[in-house]
Amino acid sequence: MPYDANLEVSSEDLRQQVQELTEEVDFLRIELEASQRQLNGKDEALKLLQSMAMLDKATSHTKEMLQKAEQERRTLEKEISVLEWEIQFDQVRLKNMEETWKEKYERVLCENVTMKESLELRTNEIKALKSENTILNQQCQELLAMLDVNQQKIFQDNLSLNKTSLMDVTAVELAVLGACTCGDGGPCPCAKMSSATRKQLLQLRKELEAEKKSKEEAYIMADGFRIAFEQQLKRRNDVGLQIDDMEKVCKKGNKRLPNWKILKENGHLFSKEGYKGLGQKLKSMLISPADCKNLECLDEPQEILKILIDLLNDKEEALAHQRKVSYMLARTMEEKADPATSPKSETDGDLHAESSQQNSSDTRLTTDHCTCPTYGDSSESNISLEESKRIVETVFSSLHKELSPKLACVQSSESAAENEAQPVGVGHTET
């Protein structure tokens, strides 16, 4: 029985514990539900907050875009207003330009009408003046036919000068007479001044023409000097080439005559009685004593050629000066023959006289310094370059002919002496 009582007590305790546990479970369930509800509310609140943040961002971007659009709209409105104002201004300006061009066109038409009328009047005046000019020309020709030939030439020269200086002279005269305030009937000092200026201008014209002629003559003379200088250079070049040829010939002759100096020292080759030197032969061609003295003691061909070249150069310079003097004399003779056709001023004549005196003094100086002869006719006394070359060739050929037999004899004697001096069995050497 006690066992049953213990069981009952334990069951009651268990029931109480179960009830307590069930109550705790219910309480915990209620708390869990409440906590779940709180969590759900918090989730919803978070979602609302996120949605609100997204809306705020979207609204700020849209606000910025709206502000930019408004600014662009304002700028476009300003530009449109400016363009409208420019268009209106251009339209007004075009209207004004059209009106001004219309006025100009009307004014030009009026001017053309007046110009046509004035042109008709001027043409009529010109026709009348031409008819008067023809009448005056006929009268002038009739008067010229009544004059002499010299007077006609003088009149034509003055007429040409007046035609060339008509505009200048009339301008000066009009300037003087326009400023004139003299009211007398006789010639006033202004008219005298205009006539004096006219004479002065004519004199200056003549002096200018004389200066032009002297300038042309100076250019012609310079051309003559240049041509003579070029000819002299060409001749010197030709002489140089010919000297080279002559040196080659002399070298060949020296190769053929190796023992010329030995023979001259021994006295076998030259003799004063039977041989006539090259300088003596050339001395017979020259007449001036200075040239003869220069060639007395010369027998070497190179020195003789140098002297001949110097003589030719001096002769060319003298000929150039003679040509210049002859040209000046011819010009002066032409001027003296035709004094009316070629009038000269006194200054021009003085210049020509000074130039001719200077040229003659130059010719005297060159002829004094020149060692060539200047006697008689120049065509007979002037030895040309070809003649001098031919003379030198003949002299050298005669010299070679005179030297060749004696040289052969001397060479044969020398070879015989060498053969005798050599021992037997040794070959002959070439000479």
233-to-227, 239, 370 alpha-carbon distances in Å: 10, 10, 18
| CA 311/CA 305 separation, integer angstroms | 10
Does the residue 362 lie in any domain? yes
Q: Give the residue from 285, 291, 280 showing the smallest Cα distance to 370.
A: 291
Does the residue 233 lie in any domain? yes
**pLDDT range class, residue 105, cuts 50, 70, 90:** very high
Q: Which residues, including other chains, have CB under 8 Å from residue 247's CB and lie 6 or more apart?
A: 302
Q: Give the residue from 158, 312, 340 showing the smallest Cα distance to 242.
A: 312
Q: Are residues 246 and 376 in the same domain?
A: yes
Among 70-74, 114-118, 119-123, 240-244, the minimum mean pLDDT is found in: 240-244
Q: Are residues 238 and 363 in the same domain?
A: yes
The dihedrals phi and psi of 260, each to the nearest 5 degrees, come to -70, -40
- Tell me which H or E stretch contains 5: helix 2-146
Q: Are residues 245 and 387 in the same domain?
A: yes
Q: Are residues 110 and 220 in the same domain?
A: no
Q: Are residues 290 and 393 in the same domain?
A: yes
393-412: buried (b, 16+ CB within 10 Å) or exposed (e) per residue?
Answer: eebbeebeeebeeebeebee
Mean pLDDT of 100-109: 94
**pLDDT range class, residue 177, cuts 50, 70, 90:** low
Mean pLDDT of 278-293: 51
Of 115, 150, 175, the domain-final residue:
115
184 pLDDT more than 80: no
Q: Which residues, including other chains, have CB under 8 Å from residue 277's CB and lie 6 or more apart?
A: 299
22 pLDDT more than 70: yes
Total number of domains in the chain? 2
Q: Which residue reads 């109480």 in tokens?
A: 16
Q: Are residues 71 and 211 in the same domain?
A: no
213-237: buried (b, 16+ CB within 10 Å) or exposed (e) per residue?
Answer: ebeebeeebeeeeeebeeebeeeee
pLDDT tens, position by position, 229-283: 888 888 888 888 878 777 777 776 555 555 555 555 555 444 444 444 554 555 5
The pLDDT of residue 13: 84
The pLDDT of residue 107: 93
Helices (H), 147-188: 149-164, 166-178
Q: Which residue reads 């140089």 in tokens?
A: 240
| CA 179/CA 382 separation, integer angstroms | 72
Q: Which residues, including other chains, have CB under 8 Å from residue 391's CB and lie 6 or more apart?
A: 282, 285, 383
Does the residue 148 lie in any domain? no
Does the residue 166 lie in any domain? no
Of 84, 115, 146, the domain-final residue:
115
The pLDDT of residue 360: 42
Q: Which residues, including other chains, have CB under 8 Å from residue 431's CB and lie 6 or more apart?
A: 411, 414, 415
Does the residue 193 lie in any domain? no
Average pLDDT, the chain: 69
61 pLDDT more than 50: yes
The dihedrals phi and psi of 301, each to the nearest 5 degrees, come to -70, -35
Q: Give the residue from 304, 299, 296 showing the smallest Cα distance to 260.
A: 299
Q: Is 376 left (phi over 0), alpha (psi -120 to 50) or beta?
A: left
Q: Are residues 99 and 225 in the same domain?
A: no
97 pLDDT more than 90: yes
| CA 123/CA 109 separation, integer angstroms | 21
The pLDDT of residue 237: 83
| CA 5/CA 375 separation, integer angstroms | 200
The pLDDT of residue 375: 36
Mean pLDDT of 156-183: 58
Residue 317 CB: number of other CB atoms within 10 A?
Answer: 19
The pLDDT of residue 1: 47
Among 39-48, 141-150, 409-418, the minimum mean pLDDT is found in: 409-418
Domain span holding position 21: 13-115
160 pLDDT more than 70: no
Does the residue 101 lie in any domain? yes
Mean pLDDT of 278-294: 51
Q: Report how far Cα 374 is from the mean position of its chain's Cα atoms.
A: 46
Does the residue 215 lie in any domain? yes
374 pLDDT more than 90: no
% of residues, the chain, pLDDT over 70: 56
The pLDDT of residue 356: 44
**pLDDT range class, residue 4, cuts 50, 70, 90:** low
Of 88, 115, 142, the domain-final residue:
115
The pLDDT of residue 10: 79
Q: Are residues 386 and 243 in the same domain?
A: yes
Q: Give the residue from 395, 393, 378, 380 showing the smallest Cα distance to 283.
A: 395
pLDDT tens, position by position, 121-154: 999 999 999 999 989 888 888 887 787 777 777 7
16 pLDDT more than 60: yes
DSSP label at residue 268: S
pLDDT tens, position by position, 293-328: 555 555 566 676 777 777 777 777 777 777 777 777
Does the residue 160 lie in any domain? no
